[in-house]
């Protein structure tokens, strides 16, 4: 995600939303001021999570989201890094 996504609680809010939806993976800040998120779970849950990521928490201003299909990592929880 890019936009105003660092310093606004984005990763922790993403974790709460992922847990609510039953999605696993991670969210971490990148040096270029973006946030990288990997998510896995049931397709409907991941789709709902992606929809949430496009808005983020109230204090965020998401300007773009890039999506890629990756092989599942087998995560059992959602981590913040």
Residue the block writes with tokens 């939806």 = 21
Helix intervals (H) in the chain: 10-21, 43-53
- Our answer to whether residue 29 is catalytic in this structure is yes
Terminal C-alpha separation, the chain: 15
The answer to whether the beta carbons of residues 12 and 59 sit under 8 Å apart is no
15 catalytic? Reply is: no
Q: Which of 29, 30, 61, 79 is catalytic?
A: 29
Active-site residue list: 11, 29
């Amino acid at each position: 995600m890019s936009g105003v996504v660092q310093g606004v609680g984005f990763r922790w809010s993403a974790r709460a939303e992922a847990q609510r939806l039953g999605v696993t993976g991670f969210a971490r800040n990148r040096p270029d001021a973006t946030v990288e998120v990997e998510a896995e779970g049931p397709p409907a849950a991941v789709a709902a999570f992606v929809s949430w990521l496009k808005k983020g928490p109230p204090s965020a201003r998401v300007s773009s989201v890039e999506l890629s299909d990756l092989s599942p990592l087998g995560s059992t929880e959602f981590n913040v890094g």
